[in-house]
Amino acid sequence: MLEDFRLDAAGVREVLRGDEVRQLVNGKAGEVAANVRAMVPSGTTIEVRSYTTDRGAATVVVADRRAMAWQARDGILTRAAGAAQLEIREWRGGAR
């Protein structure tokens, strides 16, 4: 019965911080990085940085002083994430 359902917060936290989620996140970040590499000049440094907050996470960094202009003009990171079938949402700064 649905009335007996209880969320196991500790179990959810364990799963989100676990190796399987980390591998999934790192795999998607690697896919985004590969998509970005295809859009920027050869030799541009693209880094994937893994970290953990309340869950496994990763950041894709375009280590080039021109990267902000490429994102503003061409949306390189947005397009790369979309091509990796990730949901793209506007960041509004702060908690939702």
pLDDT in tens, the chain (96 residues): 567 878 888 999 899 999 999 999 999 999 999 999 999 999 999 999 999 898 999 999 999 999 999 999 999 999 999 999 999 988 787 655
Domain ranges of the chain: 8-83
Tokens of 71: 């994102």
Return the CA Rg of the chain.
17
pLDDT of residue 5: 78
Residue 91: what pLDDT? Answer: 77
The pLDDT value recorded for residue 2 is: 64
Interatomic CA distance for residues 48 and 95, integer angstroms:
25
Give the residue from 31, 18, 13, 45 showing the smallest Cα distance to 79. Answer: 31
Using DSSP, state whether 28 is helix, strand or coil.
Answer: helix
